Amino acid sequence: MVTKVLLCAVFLVVEIFGDTKTDEDNCDLSGKWLESIKVTRDIWKMGFHRELVTTVECGPSSPEKLQTLLVQNLPRGVYIDPYQLASLQQDTGLQVVLDSEVDLEAPAYESNGLFMFVYPTRDLQHPRHLQAVVPIHGRYHRPSSGQGWEQLEIEPPRLFLRANGCAQLLPAPHVLMDAPCSGYNLSMCKWMEIQLPQDQRNISLELPVGNQSLLVPVCTGTLLATLLCCVIIANAIWRHGFL
């Protein structure tokens, strides 16, 4: 019995020592602090123009040179404006890379979803928080016969890490992926996926949509207003003798 316990203890010590050694080799991209990573999300603003805010909280012992990547799918009901992203990258340092062209005008029912790489940056007020505030815009939806709101669900992002200058990442079972190194440097880097806790949920937002039952009054009203304005303008032109 005693021998068994002793053997067990020796085995444990070897295991722990082995683990610590791997940690050093991997520039600290492992260890307990990984389990304390938390991703929280929020949607700011109202109406068609919102902000999707994702915050990654790292524990106090996370490496300084840690780089974070969020891979986010967006449903077809919203879009990202690449021109706005370009100007935000200059003004606020927001780093987002889109995987495809975006049609800014297409309504929801003629669009595909989007897929983007988001690189959160350090929040100056909370040095352990990395945050990205990405503006998203609602697409027009078909009018509904219901309550006049369309609910959209945004899936949780996938989280990837890398540390600058560290050649090695953790071996399997970690998933490695090639993705742009940052919003400024589109060379490919290797990123290691971090499994987030299972309780990550969709975040939802509601967009106003037209009400089908108001079709006749809205069209009649618009037509009458247009006719009235034409009459007023024609009258003014006639009275002032521009013709």
CB of residue 185 to ligand NAG, shortest distance in Å: 4
**Which residues, at least 6 apart from 18, have a Cβ–Cβ distance to it below 8 Å?**
none
Name residues contacting ligand NAG, limited to 38-97 (CB under 6 A).
75
Buried b (16+ CB within 10 A) or exposed e, 7-24: eeeeeeeeeeeeeeeeee
CB of residue 61 to ligand NAG, shortest distance in Å: 24
Buried b (16+ CB within 10 A) or exposed e, 106-126: eebeebeebebbbbbbeeeee
CB of residue 189 to ligand NAG, shortest distance in Å: 6
Contact with ligand NAG (CB under 6 A): which of 142, 153, 219, 223?
A: 153
- Residue with Cβ nearer ligand NAG (53 or 203): 203
| 212 touching ligand NAG, by CB under 6 A | no
**With the C-alpha atoms ordered 27, 29, 30, 31, is the resulting torsion angle positive or negative?**
positive
188 contacts 162 by C-beta, under 8 angstroms? no
Could you tell me how far CA 76 lies from the centroid of its own chain? 14
- Residue with Cβ nearer ligand NAG (53 or 129): 53
Contact with ligand NAG (CB under 6 A): which of 112, 147, 168, 202?
A: 202
CB of residue 124 to ligand NAG, shortest distance in Å: 24
| 155 touching ligand NAG, by CB under 6 A | yes
**With the C-alpha atoms ordered 100, 74, 47, 183, is the resulting torsion angle positive or negative?**
negative
CB of residue 154 to ligand NAG, shortest distance in Å: 6
Give phi and psi for 85, each to the nearest 5: -60, -45
What x-and-dash track marks residues 169-198 binding ligand NAG by CB under 6 A?
A: ------------x---x-x-x---------
53 contacts 41 by C-beta, under 8 angstroms? yes
- Residue with Cβ nearer ligand NAG (200 or 211): 200
Amino acid letter at 59?
Answer: G
Size of the site for ligand NAG (CB under 6 A): 8
What x-and-dash track marks residues 107-146 binding ligand NAG by CB under 6 A?
A: ----------------------------------------
Could you tell me how far CA 84 lies from the centroid of its own chain? 15
Q: How many residues can be counted in the chain?
A: 243
Residues binding ligand NAG (CB under 6 A): 75, 153, 155, 181, 185, 187, 189, 202
